[in-house]
Structure 1
Amino acid sequence: MSQDPWLQNYDATCRLVQEIAENIHERNRQQRTRGNPAKMNMTLRASLQKLKQNINQLRESLLRVSSSRRIMQSEADRRQNLVDDLVTRDKQLNATFKGDVTQPEPSRSTLMAGAEAEGGAAVNPWLVHEPEETRGLGFSAIKQQQQHIIEVQDAGLDALAAVISRQKLMGQDIGNELDEQNDLIADLSTHSKERWLPLLTNVKGGVASRHLQSPWKLQAGRMTSL
Structure 2
Amino acid sequence: MSLVLIDNNDPWLAEYNTCENLYHKIVETLQLRNNQPKNSDEYSRISATIRVQLKQYSNEVNQLKAQLQTVAANNTLTRDEIERRQRLLEQLQSSNVKITTMYNNRPSYAAQRSELLADAGTTGWADDDEDASDEESPLLSGNVSDIREQQQMMIEAQDQGLEALSKVISRQKNIALTISNEVDTQNELVDDIADRMDHTNVTIQQETRQVTSILTQDATCGYWVVIIVLFIANVIVLTL
TM-score, normalised relative to structure 2 = 0.43
Give the helix-richer structure, 1 or 2.
Answer: 2
Larger relative contact order (Cα-Cα within 8 Å, sequence gap ≥ 6): 1
